[in-house]
Amino acid sequence: MRKIFPVLAAAVLLTAGCAGSEAGGSGPIVVGSVNALSGAATFPEASQAAKAVFDAANAAGGVNGRQIEYKAIDDKGDPAAAAAAAREVVGGDDAVALVGSSSLIECEINAKYYEQQKILSVQGIGVDPACFSSPNIAPVNVGPFHDMTLTLLYGSETLKLDNICALLEIAGNTLPAYQAAIDEWTKITGKKLKYVDATVPYGGSDYTSYVVKARAAGCKAITVNPVEPDSIGQLKAAQAQGWNDVTWLLLTSVYSENYAKAISNAGAGVYVPAEFYPFTDAGSPQTKDWRDLMTKNKIPLTSFSQGGYLAAKYFLDVLRGIKGDITRESVTKALREMKPVTDPMVGTPYVFGPAQSHHDNTAGWPIKLATGTNKWELAAQDWLRIPKQ
């Protein structure tokens, strides 16, 4: 396996367009991404981090003397805008690949288009199920579905919790994917959830009724797939009910310093399997290169910027190994034939490869937020991995 320097990122790279990039020679290498830069939920750090990586490469002379021209397009959280963004960068700009994309919807909207245009996407942050079921998209992150399996495994096997329940926030077609994640946990452990409520809304104004029903069902721990504001509301609802002995098994979606500062009562603890090496472990050698580059470019230190950073690093590693012209065709061939790349910021090697789907990152680093600390801390000394079946 090849080894590259640490990377962390999240992100935003999507493209769409013509049948294939024929441009070679000495002109710029166009790389695209489709990102949620505006709208209800935004992830700007991923594409910002990818751009920082490419800018650093350009400053050092580029790739075989050619500069990388990075185009991050906003999908505005809108399906029509996501489709238009892909077509702009793939067809109009003739990008050779997509790198660092981060969006709630873009994979679902554009996966078939990428197949038609024979272009690949090294996704910074994969979110929707299509990101992990397309032959032309390979996210660098674990994703919310493996994340749920990991958090359940940590709760039942490490914390030895029983009576675990689930409150699921379902958007679009994600319910089957979350159910598959829960089923995978059941297959590994032989255990089942005590109670499941898949009607919990995104952006709810009051989560009291959902919390009350979960408590009445006898739940001792709850897994949820929330965005930060929703989780804050859910924990406050539990606190208002005096439910202070419940353990929260959450996803990387709540892993931020702002979230930690907003939580005063975390019940029996909030546990999360971080998709990349925990960035709140200040001074760790695993994240030094990423941290230095993000700080230099004033980019927030988040899981999203980790994903974008890693996507760009992996892509550059492959790009530099191409002999001859760098075109969409040669880039696609190189990504399909690449060897796995290891990095200390992730627990699973990355490879694009020829598979018909890409959901290979199966490791998270457990972290914990305890009541009254307002600070994340490591909850393990090594990666937690989903066992191979």
pLDDT in tens, 109-121: 999 999 999 999 9
Q: What is the pLDDT of residue 10?
A: 31
- What integer is the mean pLDDT of 277-282? 96
Q: How far is CA 386 from the centre of its chain?
A: 17
- Summary mean pLDDT of the chain: 92
Cα dist from 141 to 27, 103, 125, 211, 215, whole Å: 31, 13, 6, 30, 33
Q: What is the mean pLDDT of residues 317-335?
A: 96
Alpha-carbon distance of 117 to 87, in angstroms, equals 10
Question: Does residue 328 have a pLDDT over 50?
Answer: yes
Q: pLDDT band at 7, cuts 50/70/90?
A: very low
Whether residue 9 has pLDDT greater than 60? no
Average pLDDT over residues 329-349: 97
Q: What is the pLDDT of residues 206-236, one digit of tens each?
A: 999 999 999 999 999 999 999 899 999 999 9
> Which tokens sit at 89?
């960068």
pLDDT: is 12 or 189 the higher one?
Answer: 189
State how far the Cα of 226 lies from the Cα of 210, in Å rounded to an integer.
13
pLDDT over 50 (residue 169): yes
The dihedral built from the CA positions of residue 7, 10, 11 and 16, taken in this order, carries a sign that is positive
Q: Stretch 315-331: mean pLDDT, rounded?
A: 96
Structure tokens at 276: 């990349």
Residues 384, 251: Cα–Cα separation, whole Å: 14
pLDDT digits (tens, 9 = 90+) for 101-145: 999 899 999 999 999 999 999 999 999 999 999 999 999 999 999
Amino acid 15: pLDDT: 32
pTM, whole model, 2 decimals?
0.90
Percentage of the chain lying above the pLDDT 70 cut: 93
How does pLDDT run across 68-92, given as a tens digit for each residue? 999 999 999 999 999 999 999 999 9
- pLDDT on residue 360: 92
Q: φ and ψ at 272, to 5 degrees?
A: -140, 135
- Other residues' Cβ atoms within 10 Å of the Cβ of residue 148: 28
For position 16, what pLDDT does the model report?
32
- The pLDDT score that the predictor gives to residue 13 is 32
pLDDT tens per residue across span 172-201: 889 999 999 999 999 999 999 999 999 999
pLDDT number for residue 39: 84
pLDDT category of residue 25 using cuts at 50, 70 and 90:
low
Decide if 319 contacts 341 (C-beta within 8 A): no
Within a 13 Å sphere around the CA of 10, how many CA atoms are in the beta-carbon half?
Answer: 26
